[in-house]
Every structure is written in structure tokens, then in C-alpha cells.
Structure 1
Amino acid sequence: MKKLKRWNRGLMAGAILIIAVILFQLADQARFRSSIPEISRIIQSYETQAGAALANSGATEAGNAFLNVVEQFWADPETVPPSMRYSSTRSAFYSALEDTENVFLPLAYEETLQSCRISKSGPGTCSAVLTIDSTAWLDRYGTYMSPFGPGYAYNELAEDFSQELETPASVADGRQAIRLSCQLNVTLQLSETEGTWKISCAQMYAMSSASSLADIQEVPV
């Protein structure tokens, strides 16, 4: 009889624990769902401010302005998911902008967020999948900085590989700029720290891209 009572008490304690876990998960899910509008606002605000900071009125000034925006919206991740091992992080932006021989800032940069799908990925973490239309105005071909990581521009009409990065004469003398239009897919990981959601890493690829030459007067200021 005593064994049966102990067994019943064990079952009851286990049932209470299971119910408590379920209630916690439901409450956590409800709290996360209520946070989705704020997370979306943070992503859009970062996108707007980062794009504005990248305007190259002066490479040093623009780089510093961009990193100030990164500091506000990003935090280094504790771990990077294996599926995002090639992603950009806060620290990676600093390293990239120090490599001035291989990474440059655009003359101007604009993005339009077409879609944003946010989902919970763990305790205090979530992922966001974005579709973005972007336009970068460049003064050369190569690797340029964008809000979610380095992008790459090359002359799609070049006759051979050796000419893909040659700067057109009209761009070199300042009469024109390279206009690169892309549709981007961006996956973000975000984490909540002290009640604030921050981007921890971003992985980006271009679903389509097209480059052309534009008169320098067409570059946004």
C-alpha cells in the first residue's frame, strides 16, 4: 500500500512537472509572438540607418558611421549555427572594413524590404528570413560593403574573366557610376539580451543581379 502511495505521488509530481513545462512553453510562445512586431521594427530600422550610413561622402566617415549603426543593432553570437558558418557578424564587419585594399564602400546604397518571416528558434533566440530589393552605386567593381555583409559586383558583359573587374573609363573619370540592382535573400539570427533583440549573424545571397552604368548625377545624395 505504501509503495502504491509513493508511486501515485511520483505520478502526480511528474504530471505537475509536465503541466508546468507546457504552461511555460505556451507563455514563452505567447510572449515571443507579442515581440514579433518589435523585432520587425528593429530589422527595418537597422536596414534604413545602415543604408544611409554607407553613403560614401568620405570613406573614413562613412565607415565609422556604419560601424556606429552596427554597434547599436548587433551583438556577437555565443555560437553560430552550422548552417550559417559563412555568415557576417559584428566582429566580421570590423575586419572587413579594415581590409581597405579588397573591400570598399558604395557611393550610395538603397534597400526595400519586400518580405520578412520571423520564427522562434530557441530560448531567447529567433530567425528572420528576408527578401530585399537593393541598389548599390559603385565607383569600381569588386567587393563592397552592404548592411548585411559584403556584396560582389563584376562586369557581366566582360568578354573574359580577366576583364570582369576592369573599371570603365567613364567611371574612373567620375562621369558615371556602376549601378548594381539585386534581389537578396537574407537569413538573420537574433538574440534577446536584457530585453532587447539584437542581430547576431546574417547570411546573404543574391537571387538575381544586374549591373549597368548610370550618370553620376543619378547617384542619390
Structure 2
Amino acid sequence: MAKRGGRRSSARRRRNSQWKAAAVGAGVLLLLLAAFWSLIWPYLLGTVGISGVGALGWRLWRTDRLLRSDRKWRAEELVRAGHRTLADVDKMTGTEFEELVADLCRRDGCSEVQRVGGAGDNGADVLGRLPDGRKMVIQCKRYAPTSSIPSREVRDLLGAKQHFKADIAIFVTTTRFTRPAETFAQENGIIAIHRDHFGVWNNGATLESLTHVSGAGQGDPSHRARWRKTYQANGR
């Protein structure tokens, strides 16, 4: 017990000595500051100012990084939600466009959706069922907006519809249909989704809503000429 008490007393004395040394050091520092204040204060003020500017700069940099990160995150969220711009879609490969169409079908409640595009696809890129259970076959063409879909490609989709025993055939493209292609689609019950309609679908309209306006509203020739001029001016 005596030894334990001695150790405690020794530790207490060391702490007291440390506190006294700290107090003496602080006192000496205050005395030096008071004696040489006229010489020290410009440097001290400069140090505080530089530290403040540095802290402000870091804060601004950090805020900018957070904003950039937030904008990037929001853009990625929009992409995941299907809200890509048509400019984004124009940069896609054919396979990526087919995947996008499949994702939009799933978003709208279609079931058994699968991408089957590729060699030996028998004219189909996406298969699935509409929310009401009807079997659908989809052909996807990610073409430049200055191109057009000829009637022969729509006829190929009609063959795919028969091959897969589908109830409905849908042709989705990032461009427009020629007049013969549009007419053929209407006469054979093929849903033609051109660039304008795809943009609406991509931004939230349902696939079912587009079945009632198949192929309509592609714009007049002057509209297409303006688009072509803008497209070429951008070096695309």
C-alpha cells in the first residue's frame, strides 16, 4: 500500500510540475508579445490573413468540387432513369440503343423483355410482352437524324413478326421514315416510332401511348432541312 501511495504522489508531483512549466512558458510568451508587439503584430496579422484566404480558397474549391460531383451524379441518375437527351442517344452504338429500348420497355411495365439483336436475330432486336400480355417484337435502328428508314426495312420487321408469332411489331428509330415506309407500317399494323416520338418516349411517355400515333408528326420538309443544316454545322 505504501508503494502504491508513493507512485500516486510521484505522478501528482509530475503533473503539477508540468502545469507550472506550462504556466511559466505562457507567461514568458505573453511578456515577449507585449515587449515586441510593435514588431510582431504585422507578421501575426499577415499570417492570420493568409490563413483566412487559404481557408476561403479551400472552401470555394471544395464547394465547386461538390457541385460538380452533384451535377455529375444527377446526370447519371437521369441516365439511369431513362432521361437521356437525343444527343446522348446519337452517340450510342447500335447495341447500346437496343439496350436502351429494352430498358424503356421494362420501365413501362413490359415483361419477359430481352435483347436478341445480333447475327441471326431473324429481324428482331428486342422481344417481350406488353403490360396487357400481347407478345411484341421490336426492330431498333440507331441512325443519324439525316438518314431515313426505307420501306424494305419495315417489310423485314413484318417478316420477323410472323417468324416470332408476335401480336404486335414495333419499329424504333432515331431518324424518320420515308413516306412509303410510313404507309407500309400503317397498312400492316406496325407501330412506327420515329425520332420525335422516341424523344417523347425517352422523356417519360409510355410505349402504349405511342401506339395510337404511329408514324405521325414527322415534320414537314422545311423542318427536316433546318435540322440537316444544324446537324452539318455542328460537324456531325
Does TM, normalized by the shorter one, top 0.5? no
- RCO (CA 8 Å, sep 6+): is it higher in 1 or 2? 1
Please say which structure displays the higher CA radius of gyration. Answer: 2
Higher strand share: 1
TM-score, normalisation: structure 1: 0.28
